[in-house]
Amino acid sequence: MNKAVSSFVPGVLATSTAATVSLAAPMGRLSLRARGDLSALDAALGMTLPTRIGQRNAGAICLGPDEWMLHADDIVPIVAACAAIYEGHPHSLTDVSGREITLLIEGPRAAELLTLGCARDIDSIPVGEGRRTVCDGATVILWRDAPDRFRMDVWHSFAPHLLHLFETGCRELAAEAA
């Protein structure tokens, strides 16, 4: 039985000796779309936006040729800085903080747990990068922070479904190892 979204509280959601899945604390999330010369945006954001798909810098990940996701504790100054350059450098910056949650997936077999839902080869994602991909039918953003530590951004409505998969997966991988 899938969990109700409202029952999620930050903390451990599923755990076993194989892997642990926990919910990250709420954070600011911004979707950025921009084309052409990015130098003005770089200056406004105070960092260089990564330009290769999957590359990360600070809290930003490049998702497409003209698309980024930014994670930050406080988005107010970012929104203000980008609004100030909007006239000269039109772009789209949208607050999507309420759209999704982040699952922290870590443990000795975290990468293997992900293979239950992801068709893509997890090993092809280098540490320090990320990718938008598909996990058991849902589009997710996967951030690889260490060989055995990932973050997965999931839209709210898909979260109970994926969590249910990971709960089963954690138990299954632990039972296999035993």
Partner 1 sequence: MLLIHCPYCDETLPEAEFTYAGEAHIVRPLDPSAQTDEQWETFMFIRRNPKGPHYERWRHLHGCARYFNAVRDTVTDKFLTTYKAGEPRPDLESLK
**Binding footprint of partner 1 on the chain (CB under 8 A):** 53-54, 63-65, 67, 119-120, 124, 131-134, 139
Q: Which is nearer to partner 1, 94 or 139 (CB)?
A: 139
Tokens found for residue 86: 């909007």
State which H helix or E strand residue 78 sits in.
Answer: helix 76-84
Residue 66: CB minimum distance to partner 1, A: 9
Residue pair 40/30 in contact (Cβ under 8 Å)? The answer is no
Pick 139 or 157: Cβ nearer partner 1 = 139
Least distance CB 100 / partner 1 (angstroms): 15
Residue 174's SS3 state is helix
Residue 126 C-beta: closest distance to partner 1, Å? 12
**Nearer to partner 1 (CB atom), residue 134 or residue 146:** 134
Compute the least distance from the CB of residue 64 to partner 1, in Å: 4
Burial label for 145, CB within 10 Å (0-12, 13-18, 19+), is middle
**Burial zone of 137 (CB within 10 Å; 0-12 exposed, 13-18 middle, 19+ buried):** exposed
**CB 118 → partner 1: shortest distance, Å?**
9
Cβ-based nearer residue to partner 1, 7 or 124: 124
Q: Please give the structure tokens belonging to residue 161.
A: 């479904």
- C-alpha distances in angstroms, 46 versus 43, 70, 84, 107, 139? 5, 13, 14, 34, 29
Which lies closer to partner 1 via its Cβ, residue 14 or residue 159? 159
